Structure 1
C-alpha cells in the first residue's frame, strides 16, 4: 500500500484492490478477545507518539505517560547530554512505581536532578543509571551497573517524541513513518508552541472515534454549522478532494468554503466579533508549506489530516495545527487527547483569537464524540455485522484492515512451525 495513485474521477477505493469494496465488519471494535491481541500486536510493536520536545525543554525535564494498552507507565526525560530518553517507570529494587506525585496512576511532570524511589530510596540519574542504594552491604554482591532503569526505544521526528515497546523494532522511526509522513519535513512545528490541550474519556473503541475524522461524509448531517446547505452548491455532494495511503498511514485533504466567506447568520457571534473560530484565526502568520502538505495539489487547499498509525492524527491548517491521540483503555473505552498549536500570540487580540479557535474546535470534536456511545452500544448488540462503506470512507476501510492485518501477522508468528 505504498503507492500514491492519482485516481480516476469519482473513484478512490478501487485503486486499492486489496481493500475490497464489499461490506465490512466492526467486530475488531467490539471483541474483548481481539482487543487483547491488538494490545500485543499493535500497541506493543508500533511507534507511539507520547509528546513533543517542548515538554522536556531543559536538562532534567521529564514527564510520565500511562499507556493502558501496553499496561505500562513510562518516564520521558532529557539527560545531561541533551538527549531525550524513555524508561519504564519501575524501580529495579522491588518494582515500585518510581515517579509519581499524590496518586500513582496519574501522569505527572517536572524537573529534577535524579529520580528517587519513595519506597526504599534507590536513586537513578537522568540517563537511567543506578547511582545510590541504601545499605548496599546488606545485599549479596549487588552490581549497580546491572540495575539501571529499563529503557524503552525512543526517537524524535520533527519534535514529536515516539517510543516503541518492541525489544527489537522492525523499523526505525523514520522508516516506519514513510515518505508520505516525512513529506512534512520542513513544516515549522517547532514555532507553534502556544498550546490549548483537552482530554476526554469516551465509551467507545478507539478506532470508532478515529473513523469520525477519516471521512467528511458525515459533516452535512452532524455538523450543519460547518458547511450549511444554504452555502453549498445545489445538490452537490460534500466530498474531500484527496485521499492517500502509504503503508499503515492515511491522509485526507479538503478544500471547502472558508468560514469568513459565509453569510454572518451561519457563524457564531463570537466568530464574527473575534474573526476566529472553526478554521482558526482568520489571519495567520505566513508559514512556509512543504510540498508534502498538499500532495493532491488542491487549488483551494484548506486542511490536510495526516493519520499516523496507530493512534495519532495531525491536522494542519497552514499556519497552525491540531493534534489528536486515541489511547485504548479497554475494548470499548479510550482516552482522547487533543490540542491546538499556534504561533505565540503577539497581542492580546491574537491570544483571544487562539482561545476562541480552540474552544470552537473542541465543540465540533465533541459533537463527534457525542455519537460514539450510541455507535458502540449498537455495534455490541451484534445484530448487524456487514456495513457498506462508500468511496469517501476509504480510510475507514483501510484502518480496520491494517489493524486486523497486524493482529493476524502477530498470531502467525506465534504458531509453531509444522514439522
Structure 2
C-alpha cells in the first residue's frame, strides 16, 4: 500500500465476497494468520515468577500459555501435553510452580520443561529433555505481549510493527491502569466487525443520542497508512455543547474522555506522533495494528480492541479501557464518568455489526461503495488482507 491515500474521482468499490466466503476465510487462515504477530495482553498481568494466562487463537485452533518463569523470563507455549495431546492448563489465568496435565499427570515447570512422568520406567528410551512444552515466538513491545505461531518468524516483532513502534516508543503505557473491560461473540466476519471501528462517518447516526453534536462540523478525521498498519486521528466539534454530567467531568479534569481544547503537555510536546497536525480540537488517535489489534490513545487514557476470528461468520471481541493512575478524587470522578461514556458508546457501536453481516450474507449486493476519505482505513485494511491472501494464491480464486 502507498504511504498516503490518494484522492479518487469516484467512490471505491470493495467486494463483499471476502466477508462471506468460507474459501476466502480458509485462505486467510493459511496465508495470513499463520504469518503475523498477535497481541495477547500486558506484562502487568503476570508480574511474578509462576504467573501465567491462557489465550485461545481459534482461527488457528491454538491454545497458548504465556508464563513468567522462575527466572523472570516470559515464555509462550502451545497448551498441549506431549503425551497424548490433552490441554494441560484449564484455568484462564493464575500462578503455579508447575503445570500438571489432568489426563495422566505429566508435569511441566513454569519454563515449559517436562519434570515428571508417572511410571516413567514404562517409557523406556524416553528423554524428558526432548518433551518440553512446544514453544512459540514471544516478544514484548512497550509492555504489550505478542506471540507468533512460528517459532522462527519471518520478521522480528519490531520490524513487523514498524513504523508504529517508532512512533509510539516511550509512550507511558505503564502509567495506565485497567479501568473497564468488555467482551462478546458476535455473528459477524472479523473484517466486517473491525470496519465499524475504523471510520468516524457512523458517529453522526450511530451516536446521535449519546454525543449528538460531537462531529456535527465538517472536519473529516485524518487517515494515514503505515505500511500494513494504519492510523486515524479524530477531532471534536469545538462548538459541542456537553450534557451536565459531561460538563462537570470536563471541568474536573482535562483527562475526561472526549475532552478537547486544552493544549496540554501530552498532545503538544511529549508525543509528536499524536495529534501530529496540532489541532486544538484533537481528542484521540487510533492505531490499527494488523491484523486485529486497535489501540486508541487520548489524553490520559487508552482503549485496546481485539477482534479474534472464530469462523467466517463469528468473531470474538475483547476491549480493555485503561486510564492514567491518579490519587485525585476530582480526577477519579471525571474518569468514572469517562468509563461509563466509553461503555455506552461501545454499546452503540455494536448495534449494527450482526445486521450488517447478515445483510451481506444474502448475496444481494456484490460490493461496498466506499469514500476514499471517510472510509480510507476500511479500504486500506481490506487491501492488506488481499495482499496476504492474493500474493500466496496467485491465479487461484479463493
Q: TM-score, normalised by structure 1?
A: 0.86
Match of residue 148 from structure 1: 132
How far apart in 2 are the matches of 1:230 and 1:314?
A: 21
Match of residue 80 from structure 2: 90
Match of 2:181 among 197, 219, 223: 197
Matched, 1:120 2:95: no
How far apart in 2 are the matches of 1:272 and 1:349?
A: 13
Match of residue 213 from structure 1: 197
Alignment of 1:372-383 (within 5 A): 372-383=353-364
Question: 1:99 offset after TM fit, Å?
Answer: 0.5
How far apart in 1 are the matches of 2:2 and 2:39?
A: 22
Match of residue 137 from structure 1: 121
Structure with greater strand percent:
2
Query: CA, structure 1 residues 285+78, in 2 after alignment: closer, same or farther (shift >3 Å)?
Result: farther
How far apart in 1 are the matches of 2:262 and 2:338?
A: 12
The residue matched to 1:253 in structure 2 has which SS? strand
Match of 1:248 among 224, 228, 238: 228
Match of 2:381 among 399, 408, 416: 399
Query: CA, structure 1 residues 133+414, in 2 after alignment: closer, same or farther (shift >3 Å)?
Result: farther
The residue matched to 2:385 in structure 1 has which SS? helix
Match of residue 327 from structure 2: 346
In the alignment, is the contact (CA less than 8 A) between 2:219 and 2:235 conserved in 1?
A: no
Question: Residue deviations 1:254-275, cap 9 Å, x none?
Answer: 22136xx7335xx2x5434554
Alignment of 1:319-358 (within 5 A): 319-358=300-339
In the alignment, is the contact (CA less than 8 A) between 1:323 and 1:339 conserved in 2?
A: yes
How far apart in 1 are the matches of 2:259 and 2:71?
A: 38
How far apart in 1 are the matches of 2:215 and 2:396?
A: 55
Match of residue 105 from structure 1: none
Alignment of 1:19-418 (within 5 A): 22-101=12-91, 108-225=92-209, 228-229=212-213, 232-233=216-217, 237-240=218-221, 242-257=222-237, 262-264=240-242, 267=243, 269-275=244-250, 278-279=257-258, 287=266, 289-390=270-371, 391-412=373-394
Question: Residue deviations 1:367-408, cap 9 Å, x none?
Answer: 121101110111011111122211221110111111121112
Question: 1:22 offset after TM fit, Å?
Answer: 3.3
Query: CA, structure 1 residues 161+285, in 2 after alignment: closer, same or farther (shift >3 Å)?
Result: farther
Query: CA, structure 1 residues 92+377, in 2 after alignment: closer, same or farther (shift >3 Å)?
Result: same
How far apart in 1 are the matches of 2:179 and 2:260?
A: 14
How far apart in 2 are the matches of 1:284 and 1:340?
A: 23
Match of residue 104 from structure 1: none
Aligned length: 390
Q: Which moved more, 1:385-394 or 1:285-294?
A: 285-294
In the alignment, is the contact (CA less than 8 A) between 1:289 and 1:318 conserved in 2?
A: no
Question: 1:24 offset after TM fit, Å?
Answer: 1.1
Q: TM-score, normalised by structure 2?
A: 0.90
How far apart in 2 are the matches of 1:42 and 1:256?
A: 36
Q: Which runs of no fewer than 5 residues in structure 1 stay unpaired?
A: 6-11, 102-107
Question: 1:200 offset after TM fit, Å?
Answer: 1.7
Q: Which runs of no fewer than 5 residues in structure 2 stay unpaired?
A: none
In the alignment, is the contact (CA less than 8 A) between 2:190 and 2:309 conserved in 1?
A: yes
